[in-house]
């Protein structure tokens, strides 16, 4: 069994100069492909259940699926709750076998964000698992704008919450369908200067590959969340599989044809984050 906590995969990444992919899942087909890609590359992987995934599939089912994949995997697999918004939601994920809880209080006033994130961190650490928090708000492409992370607030947040990883807003944006502008490295350096907590980039699909590699190798950024990029790869492969034979209707046959292209796309993402052997 290679089920791991977030801290167990991020601390080696921090010290060895690479990053780990937090891959946003929507169902069995993508999570299975993500683990296959991680095994092919020989790197750990973080399977993430975000709000849209949880709206489609209940947490107890997702926890069982994640743990089943981890038990058969040859690389460490983290079962991660992404963007949990309440302590109770995080508690349910813990009870369902998740090994990492991400509490998102980024829209809350600073004091409230710290207090509620600290409560989730205490819950997680009491059960021997990890907690990720977020300081500064990461916006959405074509939607709500970002509020950049203040380094001083980040230092206080990390110190008072005890989180194992800290998501920051440094020019990254959720749901980008193509490479965006480069991240604000000066802000990242300022945050690094005041805390030793591993940093997380949400909206990693919009970060150019070259900057992913550079930050993974030479900064405290140890986790990139990737969702849109791989959902687009899945959709393209699915459309091709459906259109290949208009008379085929069995979804198992159709989805079987999606697996290999999605594994290949995921392997490209994983390579962009480096491994100790590739530095």
How many Å is the Cα radius of gyration of the chain?
18
Half-sphere exposure of 213 (CA within 13 A, CB side): 9
Measured CA to CA, the distance from residue 224 to residue 275 in angstroms comes to 14
- Exactly one of 30, 82, 104, 164 is catalytic; which is it? 82
pTM for the complete prediction?
0.95
Measured CA to CA, the distance from residue 245 to residue 17 in angstroms comes to 46
Average pLDDT over residues 113-131: 98
Q: Is the pLDDT of residue 277 over 70?
A: no
Residue of 2 and 21 predicted with greater confidence:
21
Coil, strand or helix at 168: strand
The fold adopted by the segment(s) 3-278 is TIM Barrel (3.20.20)
Say what the pLDDT of residue 217 is: 95
Give the pLDDT confidence of 19-53 residue by residue, as tens digits. 999 999 999 999 999 999 999 999 999 999 999 99
Give the pLDDT confidence of 70-93 residue by residue, as tens digits. 999 999 999 999 999 999 999 999
**Average pLDDT taken over every residue of the chain:** 94
Measured CA to CA, the distance from residue 208 to residue 210 in angstroms comes to 5
Half-sphere exposure of 222 (CA within 13 A, CB side): 25
What percentage of the chain exceeds 70 in pLDDT?
97
| Among the listed residues 263, 114, 278, 133, the one whose alpha carbon sits nearest the alpha carbon of residue 198 | 133
For 221, the token pair is 């950024």
245 tagged catalytic: no
Read off the DSSP letter of residue 195.
-
* φ and ψ at residue 179, rounded to 5 degrees: -55, 130
For 163, the token pair is 């989180």
Say what the pLDDT of residue 243 is: 94
For 255, the token pair is 């989805």
């Amino acid at each position: 069994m290679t089920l791991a906590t977030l801290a167990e995969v991020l601390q080696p990444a921090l010290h060895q100069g690479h990053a780990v992919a937090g891959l946003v899942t929507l169902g069995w087909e993508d999570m299975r492909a993500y683990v296959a890609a991680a095994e092919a590359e020989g790197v750990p992987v973080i399977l993430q259940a975000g709000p849209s995934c949880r709206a489609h599939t209940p947490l107890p089912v997702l926890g069982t699926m994640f743990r089943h994949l981890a038990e058969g995997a040859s690389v460490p697999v983290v079962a991660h709750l992404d963007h949990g918004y309440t302590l109770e939601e995080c508690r349910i994920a813990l009870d369902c076998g998740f090994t990492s809880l991400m509490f998102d209080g980024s829209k809350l006033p600073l004091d409230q964000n710290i207090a509620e994130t600290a409560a989730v961190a205490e819950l997680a650490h009491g059960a021997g698992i990890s907690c990720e928090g977020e300081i500064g708000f990461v916006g959405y492409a074509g939607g709500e704008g970002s509020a950049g992370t203040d380094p001083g607030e980040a230092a206080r947040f990390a110190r008072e919450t005890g989180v194992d990883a800290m998501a920051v807003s440094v020019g990254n944006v959720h749901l980008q369908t193509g490479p965006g502008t480069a991240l604000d490295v000066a802000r990242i350096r300022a945050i690094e200067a005041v805390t030793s907590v591993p940093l997380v980039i949400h909206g990693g699909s919009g970060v150019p590959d070259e900057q992913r590699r550079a930050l993974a190798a030479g900064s405290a950024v140890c986790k990139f969340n990737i969702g849109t990029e791989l959902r687009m790869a899945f959709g393209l492969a699915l459309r091709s599989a459906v259109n290949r034979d208009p008379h085929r209707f069995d979804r198992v046959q159709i989805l079987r044809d999606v697996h290999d292209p999605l594994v290949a796309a995921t392997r490209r993402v994983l390579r962009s984050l480096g491994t100790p052997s590739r530095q």
